[in-house]
Amino acid sequence: MSVYHNPVLLKQSVDDLVTNPDGIFVDCTFGGGGHSREILDRLSDKGKLYAFDQDLDALKNNIDDPKFTLINQNFRFLENSLLAYGVSKVDGVLADLGVSSHQFDEAARGFSTRNNAPLDMRMNVMQSMDAKKVINDYEEDALADIFYYYGELREARKLARDIVHHRKIKSINTTEDLKKLFSFLPSHKVNKFYAQLFQAIRIEVNQELEVLKEMLVQAYNVLKPGGRLVVISYHSLEDRLVKRFLKNGMFEGEPQRDIYGNYEKAFELVKSKAIIPDDKEIEENSRARSAKMRTGIKL
């Protein structure tokens, strides 16, 4: 088990993923390597695993195994990155989405609501866009949309207006600067509010939903017929995209149906409902509390 963070739904996800020990597999979110190590344990000497992570910290967890290759790249470049290694088709793709426990615990990264840190929230520290730019440079309407659609905050327009008003007086540079703007909130609402607010900003900084869409489409492209796509998500926005894509290969709208009302499916679902961690796992790993896992077999 990795010290980077405890992988969520470890056995269930790898059970669903690895049905051919001689196959080629992809771990889109390497992190501390917990899922990757479990996958490697299931592979024969003929098997191969390619893992992706854009976070430079994750590279420190590289695995010394001839069956393993770690690619320092955002998984939105899944297809082309695999082609660079001569791989066009794979047997399975796993993605454990969201922010790792390590990223939350590294105060300077600015992901956590618990610590005072620079407004950063970049998963890839080499990119220029960060949370400070979002909060201080975005127009009021754009901020309101981010809070409403990514944080599901009803008072999004008021929040955006307050931020724009305050930043005219003084730049908002740290997580504490941002939290102070909303110190009037009743104590029983504070934790949930900040979690939603920080989630919204983080999604925008890292373009998480657009990146997820790109990865899902490319995962479908690289999977062999019968190959498996396993995705673990942590909030409803992610899960909704994954659920729709596994159902009909689309993110919005309705698929074209024949005269009998049938449509061409992209995947067969292994289970009709999402798999969630049991009480024991949640007790041992708080990160698992909101996790949902869905698995599809490419048709």
Do the annotations mark residue 53 as ligand-binding? yes
**Residue 12 annotated as binding site:** no
Q: What are phi and psi of 49, to 5 degrees?
A: -130, 130
Q: How far is the C-alpha of 262 from the C-alpha of 281, rounded, in Å?
A: 39
What is the pairing mode between strands 24-27 and 90-96? parallel
Q: 128: which 2 tokens?
A: 């220029």
The answer to whether the annotation marks 162 as part of a ligand binding site is no
Is 239 assigned to a binding site? no
Spatial contact of 112 and 105, defined as CB atoms under 8 Å apart: yes
Burial class (CB in 10 A: 0-12, 13-18, 19+), 225: exposed
Residue 103 assigned as binding residue: yes
Do the annotations mark residue 35 as ligand-binding?
A: yes
Q: In terms of C-beta density within 10 A (0-12 exposed, 13-18 middle, 19 or more buried), how is residue 276 classed?
A: middle
Rounded distance, CA 286 to CA 86, Å? 39
96 labeled binding residue? yes
For residues 85-101, one letter each, b for 16 or more C-beta atoms within 10 angstroms of the residue's C-beta and e for the rest, the string is eebeebbbbbbbbbbbb
Residue 280 to residues 17, 101, 224, 273, 289, Cα–Cα distance (Å): 23, 18, 35, 20, 11
Binding-site residues for S-adenosyl-L-methionine: 33-35, 53, 75, 96, 103
Binding-site residues: 33-35, 53, 75, 96, 103
